[in-house]
Amino acid sequence: MCKALNAKRKLGFINGSVFSPASITEPESFENWQCVNDVVSKWILNSVSKAIATSLVYTDSAAKGTMSVSQYFTKIKVLWEELNSYKPVQCNCVNARAMHAFLQAEYVHCFLMGLDDSFTQIRDHILLMEPILAVNKVLSLITQEEKHRALEVGSNLT
């Protein structure tokens, strides 16, 4: 797919080298960018399986992004906290521990499913663990894996 996009001079929409102009200060440029971005997004949607396409339908940009695990976790944690501020869980019952454990498992699954495919092996390993780990422990394991990979890449370059 990268070769096809590069041949059409549209690869920059995927790798992030083509930035979105400001819609307020450059409305015409933004409209042109949005049109091409929508075309590239449609190409991607048409080239993946239906199961994957359903998770991509509502994305605003064709860019994949390159956040570190820590950046991604921080972003998703802010979203969780915002969601909890809108609908806080108020449980003064006997099942408060069960509710907390359920939410922790949801956070773990959400975090792991948002990682890119290069983390498939460690993701699968973590999901098979019983009991499910706390989200902070999962973050620690994934961060260690990310650092390990960075060291391997660095040692292969020398």
Residues 40-94: tens digit of each pLDDT: 888 877 776 676 666 566 566 555 666 788 888 888 888 888 777 777 667 667 7
Residues 123-136: tens digit of each pLDDT: 999 999 998 899 99
Q: What are the boundaries of each domain within the chain?
A: 2-56, 69-157
DSSP the chain: -HHHHHHTT-THHHHS-SPPPPTTT-HHHHHHHHHHHHHHHHHHHHHS-HHHHHHHTT-S-S------HHHHHHHHHHHHHHHHHHS-----STTHHHHHHHHHHHHHHHHHHTS-GGGHHHHHHHHH-SSPPPHHHHHHHHHHHHHHHHHHHHHHH-
